[in-house]
Amino acid sequence: MLPILYRDDRLIAIHKPSGLLVHRTALDRNETRFAVQLLRDQIGQRVYPVHRLDKGTSGALLFALDKDMCREMSWQFERQQVDKRYVAVVRGHTDDAGHIDYPLSRRPDDLEWIGETVDTAPQAAVTDYRTLARVELPIEVERYPSSRYSLLELTPHTGRRHQLRRHLKHIAHPIIGDATHGKGRHNRMFAEHFGSRRLLLACVAMRLSHPDSGLPLLLQAPPADDFMQLVDQLGWRAALEDALRGHAESGTIRG
């Protein structure tokens, strides 16, 4: 059963676990479980995803319950009218705060390659971050006797595919558990020492305007247990909970 964060007559939001695809894709042909199908079977009606989370990313995932609402909500995401907050564990000690303005080449969906030519020219991409906590571990990784890591809150202002993972790689602070853009030695160290084998990226809050009422809606998804176990081992729970409380005190309707 997928945890439901919010539901009304036209929208439903779930807490997607790490490792679950949103929908079927030719890029992962062997996968047989998808959030769209699981949620449809769970609630007994068709659902329409209005945005994506990567397979490895956990957190708030929003669906429409009819095509018209799907179109209206998709417009909000395309126009960057949805405020999203993520948390991530990255390699190295980051600055207290940072602004990443780095265009990214377009990475189209697999279906877009069928029967058409897709423009892959770089598109504007902007991400802000702030550092919630840091740690230095007495564990040798690569050529250093100790290793450093940071807990970040991330705010993407554009919605490019794999934007956060690619932006953090660009500033040399890749997300732990990222097999494509990360560092294998650090990923293996987290698996061996902490039992963490997932991408350490989670969408913890989303603010949007409900198309029917125009009222603000806050969807909250505190990190899943497997993420929080790692946070506890690194002594970061208080810093993370302070950030999550900041979202809850925004004064919007809560899901």
pLDDT in tens, the chain (255 residues): 999 999 999 999 999 999 999 987 655 566 678 999 999 999 999 999 999 999 999 999 999 999 999 999 999 999 999 999 999 999 999 999 999 999 999 766 554 444 455 566 889 999 999 999 999 999 999 888 999 999 999 999 999 999 999 999 999 999 999 999 999 999 999 999 999 999 999 999 999 999 999 999 999 999 999 999 999 999 999 999 999 998 776 655 444
C-beta atoms surrounding 158 within 10 Å: 15
At 113 the pLDDT is: 46
At 27 the pLDDT is: 58
* Residue indicated by tokens 């853009």: 181
Tell me the torsion sign for CA atoms 63, 154, 175, 165: positive
Query: Which residues are known to be catalytic?
Result: 54
229 CA to centre of own chain: 18
The model's pTM is 0.91
At 214 the pLDDT is: 92
Cα separations (Å) of 204 from 39, 44, 168, 172, 186?
20, 26, 18, 23, 24
Q: 114-165: per-residue pLDDT in tens?
A: 445 556 688 999 999 999 999 999 999 988 899 999 999 999 999 999 999 9
